[in-house]
Amino acid sequence: MSDSNNGHECKDELKVVVVMPAYNAEATLAETLKLIAPEFTSDIILVDDYSTDGTVALAKRLGLRVLVHDSNRGYGANQKTCYRAALNDGADIVVMVHPDNQYDSRLVPAMVSIIKLGVCDVVLGNRIRTRREALNGGMPKWKYFLNRSSTFLENLILGQGLGDFHSGFRAYSREVLESIPFELNSDDFSFDQEFLVQAVHFGFKIGDIPVPVRYFTESSSISFRRSLRYAFGGLSVLISYYLHKFRIRSDGRFKIHQ
């Protein structure tokens, strides 16, 4: 399936849309935007998940296209709105950038170029180049441990070699988003893991690039308790994947989207 990505080379220009799933990002949005290369700032869609601060007003002042949920639907639901909007806008490549400035958005061009060249269909930002760098960047020790252990397990089970299975800094080709039935995924944080398992199942090429890790007061993060729920969600989707693969129980998340 991923071989059709080479068809992108026939087009002179690929449309890149940056999507931002936002929730209470007023304090960090402007700084995040400053780091995005100018050639990508004309096509940015911010989806606000019913923030209680001034995120929406600020995003509009900054000239972004803004979509607003009428209630707090969750991180996964926010991404669903982001991707639908980007596809409807004619995007060939979609890059998700969190507006909390945790990920270094200067790397957007590098991620886009990897997809343009047909090297990968999905590109992630790897926050864990070394243990010292991750911890010095502010990643909590418990989060580092969960990330390392779960990334190792998921790579082993899925036959991948990703450095950070749980990165929220991602780029996708249009084919990926049109093929994967992401609307069936969780509306919560488990969405990210479900999506990667689906990408593996459908044969897309997944790669990553190093990205500096930055944890600070304003950056978004989930609690230890929710991280455990997220981990169990990842285990659940792996079990569901293998039940579907061996035809024990059919799962619509692993059926090609038509």
Alpha carbon dihedral 145, 196, 11, 67, in 10-degree steps, equals -90
**Helix (H) or strand (E) run with residue 225 in it:** helix 224-245
DSSP result, 62-95: TT-EEEE-SS---HHHHHHHHHHHHHHTT-SEEE
pLDDT of residue 10: 46
pLDDT of residue 138: 84
DSSP result, 6-43: GGGGGSS---EEEEEEESS-TTTHHHHHHTS-GGGTTS
Whether residue 143 contacts residue 167, with contact meaning beta carbons closer than 8 Å, is answered with no
Amino acid at 180: I
- pLDDT, averaged per 10 consecutive residues of the chain (258 residues), comes to 48 89 97 96 98 98 98 98 98 97 95 98 94 86 89 95 95 98 96 97 97 70 66 85 93 84
What are the chain's domains?
A: 15-253 (3.90.550.10)
Numbers of helices and strands, H then E, in the chain: 9, 7
Whether residue 193 contacts residue 234, with contact meaning beta carbons closer than 8 Å, is answered with yes
- The Cα 4–Cα 17 span in angstroms is 20
152-156 long-range Cβ contacts below 8 angstroms, 24+ apart:
154/193, 154/196, 154/234, 154/238
- The Cα 48–Cα 68 span in angstroms is 5
Q: Would you give the distance in Å from CA 176 to the centre of its chain?
A: 12
Q: Is 170 helix (H, G, I), strand (E, B) or coil?
A: strand
pLDDT of residue 7: 45
- The Cα 184–Cα 150 span in angstroms is 23
Reference 221, options 23, 1, 11; nearest CA is 23
Is 84 exposed, middle or buried (CB count within 10 Å of its CB: 0-12, 13-18, 19+)? middle
- The Cα 3–Cα 119 span in angstroms is 10
